[in-house]
Amino acid sequence: MITIKSASDIEKMREAGKIAANALAILGQKLHAGMTTKEIDKIIHDEITKAGAKPSFLGYAGFPGSACVSVNDEVIHGIPNPNRKVREGDIVSVDVGAYYKGFHSDTCYTFAIGSISDPVRALLTDTEASLYKGIEQAVVGARLGDISHTIEEYCRSRGYGIVKQYCGHGIGRELHEEPEVPNHGKAGRGMRLLEGMTICIEPMINLVGDDVWVKPDGWTVMTKSGSVSAHFEHEILITKDEPVILTKL
């Protein structure tokens, strides 16, 4: 079901969004080579709970962490691990959600650990840019396919692989609501965006190849090529004017 949010819903979603954004910002200040993915998860957990919210992902479908922490060729849904250290030259995507006053938030950022190679730096820059290109399309009267097509076009023209099995989504009282927001599609197709809809846009872009597989842990999604993958996500409120990003400080 598509849900349209009231002004008071949106106020709470803004607060939930800020809490998730703040947790990512604090992590960004503390993140360094040698830190384990479990330590990353703990920083996120502590910041969200300190703000009086609950980590949306903890226990979701049995997920064992507060954040999804995915390193290098892990695309999404990486499980925090006390034995996995991030190293200089790695990239790590940290996907975070906060549940506050009855509403969820959801945002992701891919961090570089120290200095990374030029192609990987470009992948991060381009994937984040594709997110903002997609966001520009998220206005009343546009169609879902306009967002999807814009992201696909931007990333394809740079030779990247696009993950198709996973996509963005509506969000609100539930972490995952309708509609699905794919990262590939045709312009002018799909449902029209309505004022008061809240959606997550989240390109998952591989340096090489579209294909992915899921590890035997049942969660971690990997690139088939073994190349690195980037993931950026914001939660957007659809308005008659500019798109409003709810997951920023």
Q: Which residues bind Mg ion (CB under 5 A)?
A: 106, 200
Q: Of the two residues 168 and 185, which places its CB atom closer to Mg ion in the complex?
A: 168
Nearer to Mg ion, 5 or 208 (CB): 5
Shorter beta-carbon distance to Mg ion: residue 14 or 208 = 14
In Å, what is the CA distance from 190 to each residue of 48, 187, 194, 210? 35, 8, 12, 22
Nearer to Mg ion (CB atom), residue 20 or residue 86: 20
Residue closer to Mg ion (CB basis): 123 or 200: 200
- What is the rounded CA–CA span in Å between residue 228 and residue 205? 9
For 149-182, letters b (16+ CB in 10 Å) and e give bbbbebbeeeebbbbeebbbbbbbeebbbebebb
Nearest distance in Å: CB 33, Mg ion: 27
CB of 104 to Mg ion, least distance (A): 9
Query: Minimal distance in Å, beta carbon 178 to Mg ion?
Result: 13
CB of 151 to Mg ion, least distance (A): 14
- Give dist(CA 94, CA 68) in Å, integer: 6
Q: Which segments within 128-220 are labelled E, that is strand?
A: 161-162, 168-170, 177-181, 198-201, 204-206, 212-214
Whole-number minimum distance, CB 245 to Mg ion, in Å?
14
